[in-house]
Structure 1
Amino acid sequence: MTLLDCVDPPRSRVAVRRVSCIPAGFIACGRFAWRPCVDGVEIIHRLDTSSISDAAMIDGLQCLVDRGVLAGQHDFEEAALGVIRTSAPDEDRAWAAFYDNSLAELAGGRSPFAPIHRRARSLVVGASVLEVGSCFGFFALQCAGDGHRVHACDISSGAISLLRSAARRRGDAVTAVVGDATALPFDTGSVDTVTLIHLLEHLEDDSVRDALTEALRVARRRVVVAVPYEERPSEHFGHRQQLTEHHLRQWSSRVNHSGAEFFDDHGGWMVLTPGRAAE
């Protein structure tokens, strides 16, 4: 569960507001500035509907993580949501700008995730695709733009609600549902390609095996996996494992499939062929 799903969220440690200029008493840190307060930290930013995006938000918060201002996933998520929600006078306008600008960055290659999404889209085969662990659903929305029949699944009901709203507003046909990667709410062999893009690093080893088994069950033709290679797991993103190609090959040996390919491209990739695809 993320902060998007909390009916009664934990007591706030992070306060966020948008300003036109940085006032005295704040410490500049990249795109943002901050100061300590009695119960935590206050963060200010100048992002608005013309500049708010996933890449801009992460870039600004990464500086605060590196400085030790933000610690752990809860602080990071609280700050991220605060930045997005305060980028416009109302939340609907803020989220609309966040989605539109983030997708434009990905399409124009200006986002650090652009090459990852581009490679993942090139690996989709068939007419239908399921993105598991969709989060905000940028990849799912891009696949819909490519003309695929798109399904998206995430354990966070808040993220799924945001994706549904964005898809409806943009006119993109994406069917988004709440579900666990280790118990997918989809029929066997119901989708051509299943993707797990930067998801497995969030799971423990036993759950990784279950997630891959489920993806192979649902996929008719291909399962596409991408993971980051990090010197240490990014705790603020909720990463639990430091991964190498050895992990990908080990995982592939623990599930039933009819073929596996491995390669590097801005991290590690594994492409699995379900057993039924060879029949």
Structure 2
Amino acid sequence: MVPPRTEDPGTVDPFASGADGYVDDLVEVRDLGGTRPRRTLGMVRTPHFDVTHAESRVRIGHRVAPTEVHEGLGGVIAQELFGPGWLRGQELFERIFTGVVVSSAPDPLAGWERFYRNSVALIDDAITRGLGEGAGHASIADYAPVYEHAAGLLAPGPVIELGCCFGFFSLRVAAAGRPVTGVDIEPGTVRLLDAVAARLGTDLQTLTADAAHVPLPDGAAENVVALHLLEHLSPDQGDAVVREALRLATRTVVIAVPLEDEADTTWGHVRTISLADLAAWGRATGLPHRVHEHHGGWLVLDAGAR
């Protein structure tokens, strides 16, 4: 069911929308509302989605309720569409995810505000109730203990988050009163985080940059964090990010990775990282460090010991 690829589908625009939902070069996504159309020849139907093809695009009709528009949406899409093999590829995954959020409300920013508010509420609830299933990517319960644990490892002072993506960790830490800068390589993601942070009333700085080349001075913050970033990067790129984190941090560097038997390509992972790999990074720095497991693997570096 994988559609033909265009030569250059362009980047994902989190604010793109049309009269009937979200449309780009690879996908069309619309909210089906209360009634599903009759099933047609060649259609894949799952609990939340109807999937068909139209020339070079995949057409997705969804019945995702407003309360289901949150960080766990990716797990639903992965389980129903990508896990069974109906669709493949991170690029397609990201576009469908964006399309569902954008088409869930009258305008894109309203959809994203709903996504963030629902996600923040569920993360807070999961932390309060002590929920947590593992170091996966499929549910709020997978992420909540990672965010909570990372916050507990920080030294006092400002924080830089490398590869912040949607920025839930940055938002949580900023809402607690710390100066925070969220850094991501995707301009659309950073623009989205800026817009939603303003709607949420959270004072958060953002920066579009490669995590290995951040245009900030040495010692720009006491803490630098990279949560579930390095598994998306080649070994050389990962090494460069660790070096950059140490350049930027004056006290603590916190790195977290999922512990996988195989790299999950649906989420854009290109390699697995073990506790032994984290320990090797730590030894290579020559700095005091510790490696441990808590809903995934962790490396904490004492940058202040230089």
- TM-score scaled to structure 1, two decimals? 0.91
In structure 1, distance between residues paired with 2:159 and 2:90: 29
In structure 2, distance between residues paired with 1:15 and 1:61: 17
* SS of alignment partner, residue 67 of structure 2: coil
1:16 matched to 2:43 = no
User: Which of residues 253, 263, 278 is equivalent to 1:248?
Assistant: 278
Give the alignment of 1:3-82 within 5 angstroms.
3-4=12-13, 12-19=25-32, 20-25=34-39, 26-82=43-99
Amino acid at match of 1:273: D
In structure 1, distance between residues paired with 2:207 and 2:67: 30
Amino acid at match of 2:289: A
Alignment coverage as a number of residue pairs: 274
Relative to structure 2, which stretch is displaced further, 55-64 or 189-198? 55-64
CA contact (8 A) 2:78 2:266 kept: no
- TM-score scaled to structure 2, two decimals? 0.83
- Per the TM alignment, residue 48 of structure 1 is displaced from its structure 2 partner at its CA by 4.4
Percent identity over paired residues? 33
- Per the TM alignment, residue 89 of structure 1 is displaced from its structure 2 partner at its CA by 1.7
CA contact (8 A) 1:32 1:43 kept: yes
Deviations 1:154-175 (A, max 9, x none): 1111111011111111111111
In structure 1, distance between residues paired with 2:196 and 2:286: 35
CA contact (8 A) 1:58 1:80 kept: no
- Per the TM alignment, residue 179 of structure 1 is displaced from its structure 2 partner at its CA by 0.9
- Per the TM alignment, residue 2 of structure 1 is displaced from its structure 2 partner at its CA by 4.8
Structure 1 gap segments, 5+ residues each: none
Partner residue in 2 for 1:155 = 185
Amino acid at match of 2:37: P
What RMSD in Å do the two structures reach over aligned CA positions?
A: 2.2
* SS of alignment partner, residue 300 of structure 2: strand
- Per the TM alignment, residue 18 of structure 1 is displaced from its structure 2 partner at its CA by 0.8
In structure 1, distance between residues paired with 2:47 and 2:289: 42
- Per the TM alignment, residue 38 of structure 1 is displaced from its structure 2 partner at its CA by 4.2
Name the CA shift for 1:192/1:113 in 2 (closer, same or farther; >3 Å).
same
User: Which of residues 109, 129, 140 is equivalent to 2:159?
Assistant: 129
CA contact (8 A) 1:4 1:158 kept: yes
Deviations 1:113-144 (A, max 9, x none): 11111111111111211110011111100001
Deviations 1:182-238 (A, max 9, x none): 111221112111000000011111111111011011111100000011222121221
Partner residue in 1 for 2:121 = 104
In structure 2, distance between residues paired with 1:246 and 1:202: 18
In structure 1, distance between residues paired with 2:86 and 2:190: 29
CA contact (8 A) 2:181 2:205 kept: yes
Partner residue in 2 for 1:92 = 109
Structure 2 gap segments, 5+ residues each: 1-9, 17-22, 132-139
- Per the TM alignment, residue 63 of structure 1 is displaced from its structure 2 partner at its CA by 2.1
Amino acid at match of 2:35: C
CA contact (8 A) 1:201 1:240 kept: yes
Runs of 4+ in 1 over 6 A off after TM superposition: none
In structure 1, distance between residues paired with 2:161 and 2:125: 22
Give the alignment of 1:138-153 within 5 angstroms.
138-153=168-183
Relative to structure 2, which stretch is displaced further, 235-244 or 38-47? 38-47
Partner residue in 1 for 2:288 = 259
Deviations 1:26-65 (A, max 9, x none): 5432433323444353222222443311213432333211
* SS of alignment partner, residue 72 of structure 2: helix
User: Which of residues 121, 135, 146 is equivalent to 1:116?
Assistant: 146
* SS of alignment partner, residue 181 of structure 1: coil
In structure 2, distance between residues paired with 1:237 and 1:220: 31
In structure 2, distance between residues paired with 1:73 and 1:60: 12
Partner residue in 1 for 2:4 = none
Amino acid at match of 1:169: R
